[in-house]
Chain A
Amino acid sequence: MSAPTVRPAQPGRAVSAAASLLERLTAAEDGGATLVALALAGVILMVGVVAVDVGALVSVRAAVQTAADMAALAALTPVDPFAPDRQGEAGRTEGRATSRAAEIAAANRAELVLCECSAVQAVVRVRRRVRLVPGGLAVMVTARARAVLGPPPTTSRPTLPPADLLRAVDEDPADRPRGVVEDPATDPAAGQTRPPAAVEQNGRRPDVSAAEADPEARP
């Protein structure tokens, strides 16, 4: 076995300090290849931690969006199946819709933070706390959804087109006209042929499962 040090002569001061530390850690090692492999393993480990966190965030984000959608739908769902008319009970609706949305959000392991619920429209914001791999680090994943009472959609899609995603980020839900029931013919699936006035006024499909993605994970 040769001498424990094989470093090339005269590295910089900081580098030599790091090198001597590494040499103490790997005192009995001969080759520079071990150092290279060690550094590589460290980098891969760090990338792995990031990959685990990103994977957890992505899957939690999907779950939280589900919770938001279900809560928004629940806010518009009448509890009594023999209720005379959904639109006629506007006075009682607000408080009950909020509690209903909160219940469904909790059942989906999320917390309701906002519910702008009227008799014909529900805008819901929901969040869940996620712990990340470096211990103690946690972020809030939020999602927003909006349900509108209206005629059933002509087609059903699980996700929004990218154009709607962008609009959902731009738009403030408070500015939106309330209670607008859109024409079922203006489905975004046929968005190219949609009249521009409808796009500007309220460019979302009438499907009650319309979900606005809110791709932010805030601490």
Chain B
Amino acid sequence: MADRLAPDSGSATVELAAAIPLLVAVTLAMVSLLGLARDQVLAQGAAREAAREAAVGGDPTRALAAARAALPPGRAVRVAVAPERPTRVRASVELPVGLPFGVAPVAVKATAVAAREPGPPPVPADQ
């Protein structure tokens, strides 16, 4: 037994040493996948807030501010608010997400469509 294991013990270490970076890379990739999912949820929340604000007020700048407020501070984001029909507004959010291994950042997208509400925009709450 010992004389059979002896010549293999070195190669086993070498193989493990080769496998470990791969495993670490796979784990990192998975963690970044979870980060993508989290950012997708963030983008969805921002799109929802923007659509809601645009539906009640109709003011794109306030919609953009609402989208930014739903995101972590300092996060780069692109928000587009467009009337889809006379009765609807669509808010689209693009959130760039950095990836490991020097992969180019991808943009996570989310949209929300809200029914435009008639009437004057509400008075901004001073909170």
Q: B-contacting residues of A (Cβ < 8 Å)?
A: 2-3, 6, 8-9, 30-34, 36-37, 40-41, 44-45, 47-48, 51-52, 54-56, 58-59, 62-63, 66, 69-70, 73-74, 77-81, 100, 104, 107-108, 152, 154-156, 158, 209
Contacts and interface: CB of A to CB of B under 8 A. Distances in A.
A100 B87 CA distance: 10
Given A33-B19, A54-B37, A56-B37, A73 B26 contact: no
Given A2-B8, A41-B23, A55-B33, A158 B16 contact: no
Nearest to A52: B33
B7 A40 contact: no
B82 to A, nearest CB: 13
Interface string B1-42: 100110110011101100100110011011001101110110
Contacts of B125: 154-156
Main secondary structure on B side of the interface with A: helix
A63 B44 contact: yes
Interface of B: 1, 4-5, 7-8, 11-13, 15-16, 19, 22-23, 26-27, 29-30, 33-34, 36-38, 40-41, 44-45, 47-49, 51-52, 55, 70, 84, 87-88, 90, 110-119, 122, 125, 127
Nearest to B13: A33
A30 B33 contact: no
B105 to A, nearest CB: 17
A158 B70 contact: yes
Given A59-B44, A62-B44, A41 B26 contact: yes
A33 B12 contact: yes
